[in-house]
């Protein structure tokens, strides 16, 4: 009895060791990628064995319905059901597959590619998978400073915004001495292209340079604006002139509308008078024609009476 039990234990151990001797591995650390560039997603079998005859499937495990990224099966790519966002951007290396390397090349990385991926490898006798995370770094657009008018005390309202960053960047205002200035309002939004950031500031000192700086790790973009008193007056004058011009445009529009309305009423009255005159002339013609017919009848009657008398 003990011999039978020992035999079964040895057989199950051999079966287990055969099915579990291969392992799919990938880096434990996050893979960093730069937007617009290519990246390799590492995945391999240990110990090394050819996976040419196996099924290799890459998919996004962090998204709903686990979107298919790439599928290799029956010695060929089978990407009919591949997610649309990955079409034409994924590739396995056939030579590396022979060495047990199922690493995936992802071209033209996008911010939307950021997330968790699974590499699943299956043979006729075993299967395993490994997961890895991708973090996409994107450098956004240079910050743009716009002037948003003055407050009642003469302070200059400035607005700085930049977009297309990933992960979330830091935006700060600096004066000419490099000292940080506190933003009054801060807006941060994220879409498929990354983060967009917008900060506002009111400048009271007019003899200064104001910098708007956006930082992301070792990346930095900066824009400055001169806020000297010489530059304030033209802005104030421009705003005043713009306001006056806007008022004049509105008044001109009102006068033009009144003129057009009055002109239409005048033309309408002229047409009405013309119609009345034509009707009066037509009635007069009818009256004259009737008078002529009446005179003819009277003359005819008079001739008849004269003939009877003779």
175 and 132 inside one domain: no
49 and 127 inside one domain: yes
How many structural domains is the chain composed of?
A: 2
Please report whether residue 292 resides in a domain: no
Please report whether residue 259 resides in a domain: no
24 and 130 inside one domain: yes
At 91 the pLDDT is 97
Residue 149 lies in domain: 144-235
- Domain boundary (209, 235, 261) is at 235
Please report whether residue 198 resides in a domain: yes
At 218 the pLDDT is 86
161 and 113 inside one domain: no
Please report whether residue 202 resides in a domain: yes
Please report whether residue 196 resides in a domain: yes
158 and 231 inside one domain: yes
Please report whether residue 282 resides in a domain: no
126 and 161 inside one domain: no
129 and 24 inside one domain: yes
Could you identify the residue written with the tokens 């590739």? 91
With CA atoms as reference, report the closest residue to 173 among 146, 200, 207. Answer: 200
Q: Which residues contact 223 (CB under 8 A, 6 or more apart)?
A: 142, 143, 144, 145, 160, 211, 212
**β 209-216/219-226 pair status:** antiparallel
119 and 159 inside one domain: no
- Domain boundary (235, 255, 290) is at 235
Please report whether residue 245 resides in a domain: no
Q: Against a cut of 0.75, is the pTM above it? A: no
- Give the chain's residues under pLDDT 70: 1-20, 152-153, 205-207, 228-243, 308-310
Please report whether residue 57 resides in a domain: yes
27 and 122 inside one domain: yes
At 301 the pLDDT is 78
52 and 118 inside one domain: yes
- Domain boundary (202, 217, 235) is at 235
At 242 the pLDDT is 66
Q: Which residues contact 150 (CB under 8 A, 6 or more apart)?
A: 156, 157, 235, 236, 239
70 and 122 inside one domain: yes
126 and 152 inside one domain: no
């Amino acid at each position: 009895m003990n011999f039978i039990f020992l035999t079964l234990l040895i057989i199950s151990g051999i079966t287990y060791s055969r099915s579990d001797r291969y392992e799919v591995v990938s880096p434990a650390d996050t893979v960093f990628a730069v937007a617009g560039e290519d990246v390799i997603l590492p995945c391999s079998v240990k110990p090394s064995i050819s996976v040419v005859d196996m099924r290799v499937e890459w998919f996004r495990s962090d998204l709903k319905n686990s979107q298919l990224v790439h599928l290799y099966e029956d010695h060929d790519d089978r990407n009919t059901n591949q997610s649309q966002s990955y079409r034409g951007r994924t590739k396995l290396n056939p030579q590396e597959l022979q060495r047990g390397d199922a690493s995936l090349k992802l071209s033209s990385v996008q911010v939307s590619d950021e997330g968790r991926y699974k590499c699943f490898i299956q043979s006729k006798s075993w299967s395993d998978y490994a997961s890895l995370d991708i973090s996409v770094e994107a450098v956004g657009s240079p910050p743009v400073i716009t002037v948003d008018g003055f407050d009642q005390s003469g302070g200059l309202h400035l607005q700085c915004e930049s977009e297309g960053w990933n992960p979330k960047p830091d935006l700060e205002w600096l004066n000419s001495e490099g000292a940080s200035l506190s933003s009054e309002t801060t807006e941060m939004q994220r879409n498929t292209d990354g983060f967009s950031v917008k900060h506002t500031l009111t400048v009271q000192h007019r003899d200064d340079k104001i910098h708007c700086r956006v930082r992301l790790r070792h990346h930095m973009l900066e824009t400055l604006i001169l806020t000297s008193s010489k530059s304030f007056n033209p802005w104030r004058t421009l705003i005043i002139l713009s306001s006056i011009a806007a008022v004049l445009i509105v008044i001109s529009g009102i006068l033009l509308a009144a003129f057009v309305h009055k002109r239409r009423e005048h033309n309408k009255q002229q047409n009405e008078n013309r119609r009345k005159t034509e009707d009066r002339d037509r009635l007069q013609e009818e009256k004259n024609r009737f008078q002529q017919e009446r005179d003819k009848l009277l003359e005819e009657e008079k001739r008849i009476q004269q003939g009877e008398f003779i």
